[in-house]
Structure 1
Amino acid sequence: MEIGISNHPLFNLNPLEFFKLAKKLEVNRVEIKLDDLRFKNFLLNKGKLNDFNFKLSFHLPVVDVNLGTPHKDLRRSFEKILLNSIFLAKKVNAEIVVCH
């Protein structure tokens, strides 16, 4: 069985605090909601990330992202945000990427 935890905004934890909480709770998976931009730099720092041995899942940004907008320029910006998030997920070997 896999048990995980997500970095919900109501936790109000920085990335290191969140990963320490996940370790304390002995979960084996963390879901990173990429709306919290503080996590990007943390995830790209392999040294910090390797201190924790979690399976990673990503939830693509949803705050202020609307692919259904009729405004072409905005839609392109939103697509770029999502693509950059997918590339980040691939770079850190996330096993699951969620978008809805």
Structure 2
Amino acid sequence: DNRLRGESSESIKAVAVYEVAKGIGALLGAGALWLWHTDLERWLATATATWQQNFGYLLAPQVESTVRIAQQASKNWPLFLLLIFIYAAIRFIEAYG
């Protein structure tokens, strides 16, 4: 019985760490958006060309989707920044809970 509680406790801790990592990742994304929103188009073009040079068309639909989202974010960066902070807050609340 105690062994099951210990395993359950470890699983809960692992989920909490994962949620914190997602929250931190979101905040890093918010920081990148804040710093690079004016140069984002140039940066995305460079990053996409570098990806294709190194990996060809591996994950091409996912890369294109990410680029479209980032382009939209650069146009509406204050709104996306707010949404990222809300997402990070939810991740941290889930990790705490």
TM-score by length of 2: 0.31
TM-score by length of 1: 0.30
Tell which structure's C-alpha radius of gyration is larger: 2
Higher strand share: 1
